[in-house]
Every structure is written in structure tokens, then in C-alpha cells.
Amino acid sequence: MNPMTTCTTILLAASIAGAPANADVPAHPRDIAFPEVQFDPPSADDYRTELQGIPVYLAPSSELPLVTISFTFRGGDYLDPDDKVGLAALTGQLMRTGGTASLSPEELDEELAFLAADVSAGVGGSTGACTLNTLTDNLDASFELFMQMVRDPGFDAERFEVLKNQTIEAMRQRNDEPVPLLLREWEFLLFGDDTPAGRQPTIDSINAITIDDIRAFHARMFQPGNMIIAVSGDFEPRAMLSRLSSALEGWPRGERLPEPPENTHEFKPGVYYIEKDVPQGSVLIGLRGIKRDDPDAIPVQVMNDILGGSGFTSRITNRVRTDEGLAYTAGSAFRNRVHEAGDFISYYFSKVPTVALAGRTVLEEIDRIRDEAVQTDELETVKNSIIETFPRRFESSAGVLSTFVNDEWTGRDPNHWPTFRERVGSVSPEDVQRVAREYLRPDEMAMLIVGPWDQIAAGNTASEDDPNRVVTMSDIWDGTATRLPKRDPLTLKPVEDQAD
């Protein structure tokens, strides 16, 4: 043995033998006690200021040499004229792809690529956004291009025609896949196909849109009176406010646009199906839900996580997937909206013969959470999961600002986040059962199915050795089923030919 190694070993052994016992060292790793981590959600007031009457949220950080600037604007597809549905979405897309007043689309793309700047623009259901992400060293040049896109987009005529053709080509595929077809028809059942919340563009509405329409929509929506700014990343706040102030000079200020209207379409329960020759049935079961700021929103969230919203720990997923092996994907969700009631949906995708059996299983779980008080350990597991994952919403500066900007646009109570965990923790078994009975009303639900109806209706007749698994559609739902017409993918009008 090497003499040096021998000496080191002897000295180490001696030091260990002579070291006093430390009473603070646990005998086993499981006995280690960790101090409780305290997390207090940030306050919007710590980030918010105003510039020329425009709300501005700033979150400086030198962690990375990057800056993200986001302008958000109220407005969305609810503003589309009835004969020009798709106008808002096309406006957002063409802002980015159509160049600027002084740069062609190709020149703008080349300049941004040279600067390694990521610039985007888009319009959704109730807001639009323009966002710049750039290296700090390139901020001056990148921001100048960004402001050209926001204030003076070029709306190139050739790019406009390309965009319209791409949109129409995508429409041709609207009936090809079961899930998009299922979601589209569910939106029609829920909100109507002729309301701002439910309507979709058609070939006629897209072809009716002109460049002048695009320019007018841009001028109405993308202006300082209708804007909130958020900046995160590597910047100095005073310098950034000065930069923004200069960028706003001479920009005409208009009115803040109205909020989306509330939907008044009558939702009708029943069984609906869309005929499609596929080996797997795609299914939604649900009804109209609640608004985001409903006083019961938190108990409803807890209840739904127990029922089907928390993945593998939820009842529907366990019963339908794990226990019965009837579907790979199954669960539920309350999709709450701000300006109108959203919906509750339970969803699953099962092979054709077992669609009815899986549906019975889902309905059994809905009945069970209505009729039986949840167990304390099940409730605590879900509440702890919600509470412990709460800080993730605020784990990045951009995420923090996005939350606060959305809260300002939608008028959320400032006390929502500071009291959120406390309110989750106070949800009781009685609360869960109460909201289940109030908001899960089987008699008012609709069931929408995409698949070969005759085979689905016949159910699982191959399991006669197990009577509990022989289930047809008539066993789980009284009355007749309504066949929804096949729609032309370009016009969305019903067509006489019902063949798939």
C-alpha cells in the first residue's frame, strides 16, 4: 500500500473516532425535519405604474441579458361583423407577416433575424397582444422595428392573399379529425353557431374581408387608449419608461373597447351524435357552468379535481382508465369564462363497443360525488396539491406580469391571490357535495359523440359472461338521440349527404 494512502487512512479513522457525537444529526434520513417554506404572492401594486394614463407593469431582472416587452389590447373576435367573421384573427396575423409602412415583409423578417429578435402579434377571444423578446444589447434596434410593426404595419397585399388562402385551406380540413369536430359542435351546442361566442369563420366571411377592413380594425383596437404594457428582463426602469414615453409620442389615442357581450343562447340537454366511420368514439358530457369570479369557483375547482380534473388521482381517470381499461384519456374540467358562464365537461375516448359502458361509468362517478360526502384524506390530497403548486403561477417575472395584466383587464378582485390558499384550505366535504349537487345536474346535461352511431348505440354485447359490462346507449340515457347534420367544411352549412 502507498505510504501516503496509509497515513491518510489512519488520520481519517482517528479523527472520526475522536469526534464528539452530534445530537442534532438524525439517525435516519426520514427523520430529517425541514423548515416550512413561506411564500407570499407578489402584489400588483409593486409592479404597476402609469405612463400617459397607460398602465405599465415593470419587472426588472439582470439574471439573463434578455428583455421581453408586451403590449396587450382589449378586443377580439367578438368584435367581428357577422359577415366578416375572422377579421380580428387575420388582423393580428397580418400585423406580423405583412411588413411595415417602411419595410417589406422580407426586409422586416431579415432585420429581425439578424438581431435574433422574436416578435409576434395576434388577436384571440377577448384580447390581442404584440410581444418582443430580444437581447439587451439589441434592444434599441429591435424595439424600433417592434414599434413599426405595432403602430404602422404594412399589411402587404400579397401576404394578405396568401394568409386568406392558407386560412381557407385549413378550413377544408375541419371535418377530418374527430376531436376538432367534437369541440366545434360542442361550442355550437353550448353558445350557438350565430353568436360572438360560438360562430366560426367561413369561406364567404374570409373572402369578404378587405385590406381596408384590416386597417380599420387595427386603428380601432391597437391604440394607446386600449392598451396595457408589461416589461420584464434586463433593463433599468427609468430608462425603459423614457423609451416607452418616446414611442408613444404622436400615437393617436382612441377609446377603450367594450367587453365581450354575455351569451344568451339556450343550451338544450340530450344525446347528440355526429356520424363518422372511426374505430374510437370521442365523447363529451356536460352543461353550462359558472363564471370565473363566481363565489363558488374555488369549491368547484376542488370538487372537479376530485372528480376528474387532477389526472391519475381523480375518480373518473381511475375508474375509466385504470380500473376498467375503457379509455386511455378520461377526465373532467370546469372551463370558467370571465364575461359569461363557461361549461363543465367530462371527456373520454373509447373504442366503439365500450362508449356506452364508459359513459355509464362517468355518470356513476358524477352521481357518487353528488350523493356521497368525500373522504377527508381524498379531499386533503387535492387541496394540498392546489396549495403546494400555487407558487408556480409566479415563478417567472413574465408569468407574474401576465397574471397582473390579465387581472386588470378582467377586473379581478385584488384580494384573490393573497387569500387563495386560505380559501382552498377551508373547503369542507360539505362544500364539495353542495357544489356538486348545484352545478353537476345530470338531467340538464348533454352527451355529444363522434363515431359510428349504430355500433355505439348497440354497446358492448361481446361480454355476455359479465352482465355488468353489457351496456347499450339506451341503458344510460332515456329518449332518442339527435343526429347532428354533416356540415360543409367551408360554409359550415348542413349538407344533405349524410355519408362520412
SS (H, E, C) the chain: CCHHHHHHHHHHHHHHHHCCCCCCCCCCHHHCCCCCCCCCCCCHHHCEEEECCEEEEEEECCCCCEEEEEEEEECCHHHCCHHHCCHHHHHHHHHHHCCECCCCHHHHHHHHHHCCCEEEEEECCCEEEEEEEEEHHHHHHHHHHHHHHHHCECCCHHHHHHHHHHHHHHHCCCCCCHHHHHHHHHHHHHHCCCCCCCCCCCHHHHHCCCHHHHHHHHHHHCCHHHEEEEEEECCCHHHHHHHHHHHHCCCCCCCCCCCCCCCCCCCCCEEEEEECCCCEEEEEEEEECCECCCCCHHHHHHHHHHHHHCHHHCHHHHHHHHHCCCCCCEEEEEECECCCCCEEEEEEEEEHHHHHHHHHHHHHHHHHHHHCCCCHHHHHHHHHHHHHHHHHHHCCHHHHHHHHHHHHHHCCCCCHHHHHHHHHHCCCHHHHHHHHHHHCCHHHCEEEEEECHHHHHHCCCCCCCCHHHCCCHHHHCCCCEEECCCECCCCCCECCCCCC
- Same domain (yes/no): 223, 289: no
pLDDT recorded at residue 479: 77
- Same domain (yes/no): 166, 288: no
In the block, which residue shows the cell 361550442?
A: 187
Grid coordinates of 42: 407578489
Residue 253 lies in a domain: no
The number of distinct structural domains making up the chain is 2
Query: Of 248, 283, 316, at which residue does a domain stop?
Result: 248
pLDDT recorded at residue 16: 47
Tell me how many degrees the CA angle 159-67-149 measures, rounded to the nearest 5: 25
- Same domain (yes/no): 337, 428: yes
- Same domain (yes/no): 230, 304: no
pTM assigned to the model: 0.89
- Same domain (yes/no): 290, 165: no
CB 102 within 8 A of CB 286: no
Q: How many C-beta neighbours within 10 Å does residue 495 have?
A: 12
Domain extent for 84: 45-248
On the CB side of 425, how many CA atoms lie within 13 Å of its CA?
7
pLDDT recorded at residue 26: 83
Grid coordinates of 350: 373509447
- Domain CATH number, residue 88: 3.30.830.10
Straight-line distance from the first to the last Cα atom of the chain, in angstroms, rounded to the nearest whole number? 82
Nearest one of 404, 401, 427, 405 to 417, comparing CA atoms: 404
pLDDT recorded at residue 27: 85
- Same domain (yes/no): 239, 275: no
Residue 316 lies in a domain: yes
Residue 225 lies in a domain: yes
pLDDT recorded at residue 221: 98
Query: Of 180, 213, 248, at which residue does a domain stop?
Result: 248
- Same domain (yes/no): 342, 407: yes
pLDDT recorded at residue 12: 46
- Same domain (yes/no): 115, 189: yes
- Same domain (yes/no): 308, 425: yes
pLDDT recorded at residue 241: 98
- Same domain (yes/no): 231, 299: no
How far apart CA 371 and CA 319 sit, in angstroms, is 17
pLDDT tens for each residue of the chain, 500 residues long: 454 555 545 444 445 455 455 557 888 888 888 787 788 999 999 999 999 999 999 999 999 999 999 999 999 999 999 999 999 999 999 999 999 999 999 999 999 999 999 999 999 999 999 999 999 999 999 999 999 999 999 999 999 999 999 999 999 999 999 999 999 999 999 999 999 999 999 999 999 999 999 999 999 999 999 999 999 999 999 999 999 999 999 999 999 999 999 999 999 999 999 999 999 999 999 999 999 999 999 999 999 999 999 999 999 999 999 999 999 999 999 999 999 999 999 999 999 999 999 999 999 999 999 999 999 999 999 999 999 999 999 999 999 999 999 999 999 999 999 999 999 999 999 999 999 999 999 999 999 999 999 999 999 876 556 767 789 999 998 878 999 999 999 999 999 655 55
- Same domain (yes/no): 242, 309: no
Q: How many C-beta neighbours within 10 Å does residue 416 have?
A: 15
Residue 211 lies in a domain: yes
Residue 303 lies in a domain: yes
How far apart CA 420 and CA 388 sit, in angstroms, is 12
pLDDT recorded at residue 126: 95
Burial class for 90, CB neighbours closer than 10 Å (0-12, 13-18, 19+): buried
Residue 115 lies in a domain: yes
Query: Of 248, 281, 315, at which residue does a domain stop?
Result: 248
Q: How far is CA 121 from CA 127, 216, 230, 399, 439, in A?
A: 11, 17, 15, 18, 37
Nearest one of 214, 98, 212, 216 to 148, comparing CA atoms: 98
Calculate Rg over the CA atoms of the chain.
28
On the CB side of 459, how many CA atoms lie within 13 Å of its CA?
19
Q: How many C-beta neighbours within 10 Å does residue 4 have?
A: 8
CB 432 within 8 A of CB 303: yes
Residue 479 lies in a domain: yes
- Same domain (yes/no): 476, 429: yes
pLDDT recorded at residue 267: 96
Residue 2 lies in a domain: no
